[in-house]
Amino acid sequence: MPPFRTEAVVLRVQDFGERDRLVTLYSDEMGKFRGVAKGAKRSRRRFGANLDLLSLVRVHGFERPQRELLRIDGADLLEHVSNMREDLRSFAVCSYLAEWVEGCTALRQPLEGLLRLILDTLRRMTSDRGGGEELLRIFEIKTLQLAGYAPKLDACVACGGEIERKGGIPLDVGRGGILCRRCHRGNATGLRVSLGTLRVLEEARRIPMERTHRLGFSARSLEESRSVTRAFYIRHVGRPLRSSAFLDGVLRGGEDISARVSQIADRREE
Ligand SMILES: [Zn+2]
């Protein structure tokens, strides 16, 4: 059995029998992978509290020929980015980002730069200055781009022609992008997005993360972008995000969310 050792973030932890845990992780070397953490329910020495969602860990163990599940022998904590045990907002953000990454990645297919993107987003979202919701939109469009799922927003997805850049621009999720007036004719359903939203999404996808603080999202662009990125997530992943309603409630504030917290926590254990 060939040994492995890699830096990874924790995407999901599930109980696995009496003593073990089934852990899903993402690393830039190995992509998304799953392994059985032997004795993890009891051994604080080898795993401690290191298997929190989106913790950065150095995991080691063995690959098992012809088997999808690896054997994970230990996880050393490198960075515990969020204080999600105390902070509801951090918990909601971590649940959402972890689910998003799990959906956008295929087993053992690394996406270049994804680990850094996850950590940058998380650090900024959970810092004292508290990055806002625009960071989530930037993260979403960038991960869709890395995974090859991003919408076409610079020309008509059907004919390649130019878009009339005024009013609400029709976006057809099934076809994968915006439509010109001719191709849109006779199909009055679907999303419409403003030119401002198209511009900011295009910029967000193109420029490096460290320059994205310059991007200005209006309230309308934030909302439209969220509809677009989530629609494309569902299109490619084939299911809606379980943690999105919880996150939206926390970010809006005010909602009675204590019940939902245990609900989400339970689901993540499934
Ligand atoms: Zn067209």
CA of 188 to the centre of ligand 1 (A): 14
| Banded model confidence at residue 138, pLDDT cuts 50, 70, 90 | very high
Query: pLDDT: is 263 or 65 the higher one?
Result: 65
CA of 147 to the centre of ligand 1 (A): 25
CA of 144 to the centre of ligand 1 (A): 23
pTM metric for this prediction:
0.90
pLDDT score at 206: 93
| Least confident piece of the model among 72-76, 106-110, 150-154, 182-186 | 182-186
For residues 196-206, average pLDDT = 95
| Banded model confidence at residue 161, pLDDT cuts 50, 70, 90 | very high
The rounded distance, in Å, linking the Cα atoms of 197 and 128 is 28
CA of 196 to the centre of ligand 1 (A): 20
Check pLDDT > 50 for residue 36.
yes
Tens-place pLDDT, residues 212-262: 888 889 999 999 999 999 999 999 999 999 999 999 999 887 555 555 555
CA of 183 to the centre of ligand 1 (A): 4
| Banded model confidence at residue 195, pLDDT cuts 50, 70, 90 | very high
CA of 160 to the centre of ligand 1 (A): 6
CA of 159 to the centre of ligand 1 (A): 4
| Both tokens assigned to 206 | 């193109």
CA of 204 to the centre of ligand 1 (A): 24
Check pLDDT > 70 for residue 4.
yes
**Percent over 90 (pLDDT), the chain:** 66
Positions of E strands within the chain? 3-16, 20-27, 31-37, 56-62, 70-79, 169-172, 177-178, 191-193
pLDDT score at 42: 81
Query: pLDDT: is 51 or 222 the higher one?
Result: 222
| Banded model confidence at residue 145, pLDDT cuts 50, 70, 90 | very high
CA of 136 to the centre of ligand 1 (A): 30
CA of 79 to the centre of ligand 1 (A): 48
For residues 166-183, average pLDDT = 91
| Banded model confidence at residue 269, pLDDT cuts 50, 70, 90 | very low
CA of 167 to the centre of ligand 1 (A): 16
pLDDT score at 125: 85
The sign of the torsion formed by the CA atoms of 145, 151, 157, 160 equals: negative
CA of 222 to the centre of ligand 1 (A): 26
CA of 178 to the centre of ligand 1 (A): 8
Q: Which residues fall inside 5 Å of ion ligand 1, going by CB?
A: 156, 158-159, 161, 180, 183
CA of 140 to the centre of ligand 1 (A): 26
The candidate with the shortest Cα–Cα distance to 224, out of 254, 262, 260, 191, is: 191
SS3 11: strand
Tens-place pLDDT, residues 87-119: 888 889 999 999 999 999 999 999 999 999 999
CA of 202 to the centre of ligand 1 (A): 19
| Both tokens assigned to 261 | 């917290």
**Domain span(s) for CATH 2.40.50.140 in the chain:** 3-131+240-269
In CATH, 3-131+240-269 is 3.65.10.10: no
CA of 181 to the centre of ligand 1 (A): 7
The number of C-alpha atoms within 13 Å of 66 and in the hemisphere containing its C-beta is: 0
CA of 185 to the centre of ligand 1 (A): 10
